[in-house]
Amino acid sequence: RFDIKMPYKQLQVCNLKLSDAGIYTCEYGSHKVSTSLHIFKLTISLDGHFLQNEVPELTLMQNSSSPLPDLSITLFDSNNNRVTPKIQDKSRQKYIVNLKKLEAMDSGTWVCQVHSDSPLINQNISFAVKVLGFQNPDLERKYAAVDSTVILSWHLNSQKIKWKEGFTGQLNWKQQESANAHELFDFNVTAQGQLHETKKSNNFLFEIPERKPESTIEVKIPKVHFNHSGQYQCQLEYQGRHAQSKIELVVMKVSANPVGPLSRGANMTLTCQVSGPLPPNAYLRWERVNGTKMDIKNSKQHEVELEVNISAAGLWSCHLIEDSDRKISLHYHVEEAPVWINYVIIGASVGGSLMAFALGFLCIINGISWHRRRQRAKRMAQARQYLLENKTCQCQQ
């Protein structure tokens, strides 16, 4: 590992070790020149290969012939942002620090800046960090209307960071946090970056798109049902460690009661409903297209169902609004009943009233006749009783 480079008599030391630290002296005749070699060794846990949300451990060791200096350590991430490490163990010879939780965007070359005032040391040591994970947000919410088509996508960064190791994963779905999870499909990625997927669930109507961007996991629901809502979690596994990303699917539907054309003077109830809780900054809104402010109704915070009673036909829209942004809209066209139907209804109402009046009149007449017959029978009974009591007999000559 030691070599003399001519013509300047330079000493070259390859593959430095901590034990190579010390004082090196060059003698030329009666002249002696000495120099001190200070050596640092920087190691990172897991050989620099991490999953997102893992915390790397960095170890810095130093060796010198003179008393070891007290070092200050500053870290810069791959975006040249300063990172304040948490010192776990410190001695003059060894420094162990913990970094922050890693995200997929943290992949790249980091720099450890080592400084000492006595002796004066300013040394930058670079090291590589690869973070395998999702480029999606930690929790993504997606909205869909009933009977629409929705594609849920998870974007991996394995191609971007040129990940050379194979990993596996699976996509699970459950309707509620406490419900049982259903495995939709699993996948594995080879060292060449090829993605292989295997469908696991047959009782759920979904598809795996064939053409999609590289390092992308996708599931397609061609016709969304209201009960397809819930949590879709994509999970990675690499060397016994796990990372996951979740997409919350919220489904909206609208309905009317009664169903059918709206007659003049009648009322109808429109209902807009979403399948899951909404964030505090989201709400539902009913409004009539080209209507007035009187035709607008907003839901209260955390309400998942909004009803509106209407008496005017037209196109009504239900919007899901989050941070003043319309995430999804559903329309319901309320038709006005034809004129002849209104006349039929009016005629039926009048006819029904007349029939009720006639039936009532007949009931009254029958009641009076029945009352008279009862009174007559009562008088005859009283007369018979009177004759019996007085033993009176009438004879006809």
Got the DSSP string for 349-379? HHHHHHHHHHHHHHHHHHHHHHHHHHHHHHH
Q: What is the mean pLDDT of the chain?
A: 85
pLDDT of the residue at 393: 46
Residue pair 277/303 in contact (Cβ under 8 Å)? The answer is no
Looking up tokens 């690499």 gives 238
Residue 193 CB partners (closer than 8 Å, separation 6+) = 158, 159, 163, 214, 215
pLDDT of the residue at 371: 65
**C-alpha–C-alpha distance, residues 173 and 187, integer Å:** 15
CA distances from 73 to 66, 130, 372 (A): 20, 21, 116
pLDDT digits (tens, 9 = 90+) for 297-307: 999 988 999 99
pLDDT of the residue at 345: 46
pLDDT of the residue at 344: 46
Residue pair 150/224 in contact (Cβ under 8 Å)? The answer is yes
Residue pair 265/302 in contact (Cβ under 8 Å)? The answer is no
pLDDT of the residue at 394: 47
Tell how far CA 198 is from the center of its chain.
24
CA Rg value for the chain? 43
Residue 316 CB partners (closer than 8 Å, separation 6+) = 270, 286, 287, 288, 289, 308, 310, 331, 332, 333, 334
Residue 221 CB partners (closer than 8 Å, separation 6+) = 144, 149, 150, 151, 152, 205, 206, 207, 228
286 φ, ψ to 5°?
-100, 140
Residue among 188, 219, 183 nearest 200 (CA): 183
Q: Two tokens at 159? A: 């191609």
Residue pair 74/82 in contact (Cβ under 8 Å)? The answer is yes
Q: Two tokens at 256? A: 């009317």
Amino acid found at 86: K
pLDDT of the residue at 387: 58
Structural domains for the chain: 18-132 (2.60.40.10), 140-251 (2.60.40.10), 258-334 (2.60.40.10)
pLDDT of the residue at 38: 92
Looking up tokens 């791959």 gives 78
**C-alpha–C-alpha distance, residues 144 and 229, integer Å:** 9
Residue 306 CB partners (closer than 8 Å, separation 6+) = 271, 272, 273, 284, 285, 286, 297, 298, 299, 318
Looking up tokens 């901590």 gives 18
pTM (2 decimals)?
0.75
pLDDT of the residue at 97: 92
What percent of the chain shows pLDDT beyond 90?
Answer: 50
pLDDT of the residue at 353: 60
pLDDT of the residue at 9: 81
**C-alpha–C-alpha distance, residues 319 and 329, integer Å:** 4
**C-alpha–C-alpha distance, residues 23 and 345, integer Å:** 110
Residue among 178, 177, 222, 179 nearest 204 (CA): 222
Q: Two tokens at 361? A: 């009149």
pLDDT of the residue at 341: 44
Q: What is the pLDDT along the chain (397 residues), one digit of tens a residue?
A: 888 888 878 888 889 999 999 999 988 888 999 888 999 999 999 999 999 999 999 999 999 887 888 888 999 999 999 988 888 888 888 999 998 899 999 999 999 999 998 888 999 999 999 999 999 888 899 999 999 999 999 999 988 888 878 899 999 999 887 788 899 999 998 777 778 889 987 777 899 988 888 889 999 999 999 999 999 999 999 999 999 999 999 999 999 998 878 887 889 999 999 998 899 999 999 999 888 888 899 999 889 999 999 888 889 999 999 998 999 999 999 888 765 444 444 555 555 566 665 676 676 777 666 666 666 666 676 656 655 556 544 444 4
CA-angle at 387, arms to 384 and 391, nearest 5°: 140
pLDDT of the residue at 354: 65
**C-alpha–C-alpha distance, residues 367 and 383, integer Å:** 25
DSSP state of 337: P
Residue 355 CB partners (closer than 8 Å, separation 6+) = none
Looking up tokens 């946090």 gives 177
**C-alpha–C-alpha distance, residues 20 and 38, integer Å:** 9
Residue pair 275/229 in contact (Cβ under 8 Å)? The answer is yes
